[in-house]
Structure 1
Amino acid sequence: MSTPFPFGATSTGEDVTAGVDLTGRTAVVTGASSGLGAETARVLARRGARVVLAVRDVAAGQRVAAQLPGEVAVEPLDLADLASIDAFTGRWSGPLHVLVDNAGVMATPFGRTAQGWETQFGTNHLGHFALTCGLRNSLAAAGDARVVVLSSVGHINGDVDLDDPNFERGGYEPWLAYGRSKTANILFAVEAARRWAGDGIAVNALNPGRIASTNLSRHVPASAAPASFDPNGRTGISVKDIPQGAATSLLLAASPLVAGITGRYFEDCQIAEPHVDGVRRGVAAYAIDPDRARALWALSEELVAEART
């Protein structure tokens, strides 16, 4: 495959946004109190954007905001609680140019969100689904908005179970649940891109790569990490630092090079190739299947609507 963008696995967020001026644009980054979210917010702010850190831990968000240049705000947002999401979208006013759906949980013990959804599916997918849909009018008002959805190579571990998305019939396994939630992230991007193309909203998903150290791994003892977590890259995964891990998000959020691209899955600052068995790279066919994307959207709408009644 030819290389359409002059960046790769070792590029940083600073690299992919060099020369970009985001003055006059507003960005929301979820989970921006640490790790990839904090780095994404930092670079966006450095490029001139007004940045809103949407975080569960407001005090931690304020500590990050204090280190950032320009106009930066901190807003409470708990993606595991629909009431918090609705409060955030209800407070929002004005156009929104960039939404980075960055926050997430990984390989958690079995649990349920405030609405009774399985924790990983509920937080990683349904929380961001409700948030992004709730901000759609503001995204449309921007005229050329971008939504960036963080998925993972872990999506190749499993397709979404549309009949039992919340593990109500048992059989919970942390990595399977994580993989399914990350597949849901990609399917959401595929269908949102289709639905919202007329509003000028580009929606893309990405795999940030295996990052050396972030809070996402807090539930994962080193001895419990799957084979995909290979620091020597033998399984197709090499370890990145946080600036490298944020690069693909920032490419999609800010670079003019990806203008007009929507409904795609990226990794290492490139459009991903199809997944091949035995290599933990690429995008699984089921994760970009338009029929499954439509079915998941309908299910997600139903689950969110039921939770609001």
Structure 2
Amino acid sequence: MTIQKRSASTRGWTVGRLPDLTGKTIVVTGGTSGIGKEAAREVARRGAHVVLPSITRAEGESAAAEIGGSTEVHEFDLTRLDAVRAFAADYTGPIDVLLDNAGLMSRTREVTADGFELHLGVNVLGPFLLTELLLPQIRERVVITASMAHTAGRIDFTDPHFRRRRYSMAAAYAQSKLGCMLWGLDLQNRLRAAGSVVDVQLAHPGFAATSILDPTPFPPVNRVLNRIGRGIIPTASDGARPLLYAATEPLPPASYIGPSGFRQIAGSPGPCERSAAAGDPELARRFREFAVSETGADPVV
């Protein structure tokens, strides 16, 4: 991957334009299913060594067998900060690209082992800590998976974990994805100030038929609806394209990449507009201070 020399034209971009990644190491969280697995599969095909953090080793090994190529599985659980710290301590090798992709949606209010509202803990706070811990090992790029939902997000610093206010899945998810946008912006600002060669990119998959979109609490019904949906809406493979584009193309720091088609649902990946809040450096700084306080992270830049 030679980021500095390649053209980032969005016209008709497909995974066929991915560069040779031989000798590169790419860590993909959430790489055992959905768009993460598709992204891991494509970079492995181009020769990258793929590190797959997985909640269980069995799940990771099964995904690795499907992905093929050079893969390495580690146990890892974003719902527990001690597990995040354990993985970061265990994995000491160089990382060319960290793809912070893992995420979830929950209809009911749940909490992580550390007492965080589940969306905030898994979608932002766990990945924030992981990235801060691994940052000295990263050589090229951090990619953070965001969402169009960030535009509806609001960070409620008085009650971020919905301990007092009424819980809403939409509000919790949107808050977490705005948090991703703010974290990415602030991290890029800090890296720039430190003179680092590492950059940060933000990407969203559009609307893809993956298990995160299960619309009912009944798994058999969801499986049927997902099979139907895959015939009419973009697939996990389609959703992985913006992430792969963000991971490998030469881009301005802190770009926000997504599908370029109608309402950013599908199409070739390209630059997208973010909300005003997502581009606010002061709000981003405040969110970083909140994340540091919650996770105990010790930022290196």
TM-score (normalizing by structure 2): 0.84
Pair 150,16 (structure 1): closer, same or farther in 2 beyond 3 Å: farther
- Answer whether contact 1:126 1:300 (CA < 8 A) is retained: yes
Structure 2 partner of 1:253: 247
* Correspondences of 1:122-141 after superposition (within 5 Å): 122-139=121-138
Deviation at 1:101, TM superposition (A): 0.7
In structure 2, distance between residues paired with 1:16 and 1:116? 43
CA drift of 1:148 comes to 0.8
Aligned to 2:233: 239
Q: 1:69: how far off?
A: 3.5
SS at match of 2:67: coil
Give the aligned partner of residue 63 of structure 1: 62
- Give, in angstroms, the shift of residue 16 of structure 1: 4.2
- 1:222 shift after superposition: 9.4
- Asked whether the 8 Å contact 2:201–2:247 carries over to 1, the reply is no
Where do 5+ consecutive residues of structure 2 fail to align?
1-7, 219-227, 260-268
Asked if residue 175 in structure 1 is aligned to residue 170 in structure 2, the reply is yes
Residue of 6, 9, 18 corresponding to 1:5: 9
TM-score, normalised via structure 1 length: 0.82
The answer to whether the Cα contact below 8 Å between 2:143 and 2:246 also exists between their aligned partners in 1 is yes
State the shift of 1:79 in Å. Answer: 0.6
CA offsets per residue over residues 21-62 of structure 1, 9 Å max, x none?
Answer: 111111100011111011010111111111001121332221
Check the 8 A contact 1:16/1:247 in 2, yes or no. Answer: no
- Aligned partner letter, 2:248: A
Measured in 2, the distance between the counterparts of 1:163 and 1:287 equals: 19
Map of 2:81 onto structure 1: 82
5 Å matches for 1:4-43?
A: 5-7=9-11, 12=14, 14-17=15-18, 20-43=19-42
Say if 2:198 is the partner of 1:201: yes
Q: Distance in 1 between matches of 2:51 and 2:156?
A: 34
Query: 2:71 corresponds to which residue?
Result: 72
What residue is the counterpart of 1:221 in the other structure?
216
> Residue 152 of structure 1: which of 130, 140, 147 is its match?
147
| C-alpha spacing 1:222/1:93, structure 2 compared with 1 (3 Å) | closer
The letter of the residue matching 1:216 is I
What is the letter of the counterpart of residue 81 of structure 1?
R
- Asked if 2 retains the 8 angstrom alpha-carbon contact of 1:42 and 1:68, the reply is yes
Give me the whole-angstrom Cα distance separating, in 1, the residues matched to 2:92 and 2:107: 34
Out of 102-111 and 287-296, give the one that drifted further: 102-111
| Closer/same/farther in 2, CA of residues 154 and 16 from structure 1, 3 Å limit | farther
Maintained 8 Å contact 1:153/1:209: yes
Instruction: Give per-residue Cα distances to partners, 1:37-94, cap 9 Å, x unaligned.
Output: 1101011111111100112133222112113343211111111110110000001112
1:287 aligns with 2:278: yes
CA distance in 1, matches of 2:190, 2:289: 12
Number of matched pairs? 270
Q: Distance in 1 between matches of 2:82 and 2:217?
A: 35
Give the whole-Å Cα distance in 1 for the aligned partners of 2:16 and 2:238: 9
The alignment partner of 1:97 has SS state of: strand
Q: Deviations over 1:173-204 (max 9, x none)?
A: 11100000000011111001111132211111
Q: Is the 8 A contact 2:32 2:63 kept in 1?
A: yes
Which runs of no fewer than 5 residues in structure 1 stay unpaired? 224-230, 233-237, 274-282
Equivalent residue for 1:53? 52
Amino acid at match of 2:290: L
Contact preservation (8 Å) 1:16, 1:250: no
Pairing partner for 2:253 from 254, 259, 262: 262
Alpha-carbon distance in 2 for matches of 1:29, 1:59: 17
1:211 maps onto 2:211 in alignment: no
Secondary structure in structure 2 of the residue aligned to 1:199 = coil
4+ residue stretches of structure 1 with deviation over 4 A? Answer: none
